Amino acid sequence: MKLPPTCHPLPDQYAEAAYRAAYENAVQQGEWKPAFILGLEFFARVASQYLQMAWHHPSHPEIDDIREVFRDSAYDWGLVETALPPPLRPDGLDPDLARICGLEPRLVH
């Protein structure tokens, strides 16, 4: 499926994966409108920001807030069943958000 062009380049492949996931879901649900492009870009950028912070600054005081914004947006885009966060994966990532960003699933032991 061809993606709509972004207004600004996305920062990395994780943002691109989130962009694709949200766009494709909106199209499949018959809910896509071109006016959603800026919201879609915001979602993709928050995805990238969450991952970068989780990897490089996992104890940052704002990481939980960014995760909450990302989960709320993922819920709005129909990518998660609930905005309530599940337990983190062993690597410290939210499992749903990692999946949306194209990272392989890992089970919590």
Inside any domain, residue 106: no
Whether 5 maps to a domain, the answer reads: no
For the stretch 21-61, pLDDT in tens is 999 999 999 999 999 999 999 999 999 999 999 999 999 99
- Does residue 75 form part of some domain? yes
H helix runs in 1-109, sequence order: 13-28, 37-56, 63-76, 95-100
Give CA torsion, residues 88, 102, 73, 54, to 10 deg. Answer: 40
Residue 21 lies in a domain: no
Contacting residues for 72 by C-beta, under 8 A, at least 6 apart: 83
Does position 2 have pLDDT exceeding 90, yes or no? no
Residue 60, domain member (yes or no): yes
Q: Is position 92 within any domain?
A: yes
Structural domain containing residue 53: 33-100
Instruction: Count up the domains in the chain and report the number.
Output: 1
